[in-house]
A and B are shown apart, each in its own frame.
Chain A
C-alpha cells in the first residue's frame, strides 16, 4: 500500500476515502478533517475559550492534541468517576498527557465533590451504568464551563460514536434525541455551546493518530460498558462498513444534511425550562436530573 499523497509506504488505510497514508500525510488528513468539521459547522470562534472533555482515552486525548495549537490554548477537564482501577488508570493517562505538553488539566472527583460514584449510581437507580455516567458528564462539564468562563465544551465523539447513536435513536424513533443529535449544540441560557470536532473521523483513525503521535492512552475498555447496546450497534455498523466502505459516513452525514431539519422542534414541543432548586441548572422540573441522581446515589456522610 502506498500513500495517496507522496507514494511512500503507507502505515494506514482509510477505506471510506479509498486511500492510504504515510505517517506525516495521515496526520495532515486528521488535521484537515477537524478543520473542515470546525469550519463547516461554525464550531469555534477565534477567541473562544475551549474546555476539552478529557477521559484519558484515545478520542479525547487526540482531540486535545489536535486543538492544542489554538489560542487561547484549550484547557482540559477530567472527571473522576470512581470506577475502581479503571478510573485510577484513566486519570494517570490524562495527567501525563497534560504534563508532557504543558497543558492545564482541571479535575472534578465525583465521589469527593458529590458523594457518589458511577457504580453507586447504577446500583441506586437500577439502570445501566452508562446512563448515570453520561448524565453526570453532561451536567458537570457544562456546569464547570459556565462557572469558569469557558465559551464551549469540546467532546471526542467521533464518526463511529455518532453513527451508532444515530442508529440506536432511529431504531427506537427517539425523536427528541434525533432533534438534538448535531455536531454543534448552540449556547442557550444555562448551557454553553457543545461541539464535536471529530465527527468526520472514525475511531480507528483516532487510535492510529494516537499511535503515530506517541500519545499514551487507556486502551482497556471501561468494565461497566462491556456488552452494552452501544457496542453492539458499533459491531453491526462495522460489518456493514466492511462490506461497503463509506456506509457510516453516508448514514450520519446524510442524516445531518438531509434529514435532521425534519426533527426540528415546533411550538409546544419543548417544555419551558426553569432553574433547579438545588443547583440552579436549567431543568423542566423542580429538581434537575443530576441532583435527583445525586440524592438517590450519595453515600451517607
Chain B
C-alpha cells in the first residue's frame, strides 16, 4: 500500500494488510500524535488496512504557541 507521511511530505510503500497499530509501530509514531486516514476516511486504531489502500499518516501536533497566555 502507498503510505503518505508529512513534515516533510513523502510516500513510502508498505506491504499490507496491516493494522493501524502495527503501521504506526513500524514508523515509531505515537498514536497520540497522529491520525490515520485510509482512502479519505478516518480509521480507528484496530482497523485492518488492505494492501490496495492509500493511507495518510497525518500529524496532529502544532507548535506555534509561546509561554504566555
Query: A: which residues have CB within 8 A of B?
Result: 1, 9-13, 15, 20, 23, 55, 57-59, 130-131, 133-135, 138, 157, 160-161, 164-165, 168-169, 172, 174, 177, 180-182, 185, 194, 202-204, 206-208, 211-212, 219-222, 224-226, 228, 230-231, 234-235, 238-239, 241-242
Contacts and interface: CB of A to CB of B under 8 A. Distances in A.
A221 B7 contact: yes
Given A165-B67, A219-B6, A238-B33, A160 B61 contact: yes
B35 interface: yes
B42 A211 contact: yes
B30 A239 contact: yes
B37 A177 contact: no
Contacts of A20: 44
Interface in B48-62: 58-62
Main secondary structure of the interface of A (DSSP, over half): helix
Main secondary structure of the interface of B (DSSP, over half): loop
Contacts, number: 118
Given A138-B68, A203-B60, A203-B62, A220 B42 contact: no
B24 to A, nearest CB: 11
A169 B58 CA distance: 29
Interface in B17-43: 30-35, 37, 41-43
B6 A220 contact: yes
A211 B35 contact: yes
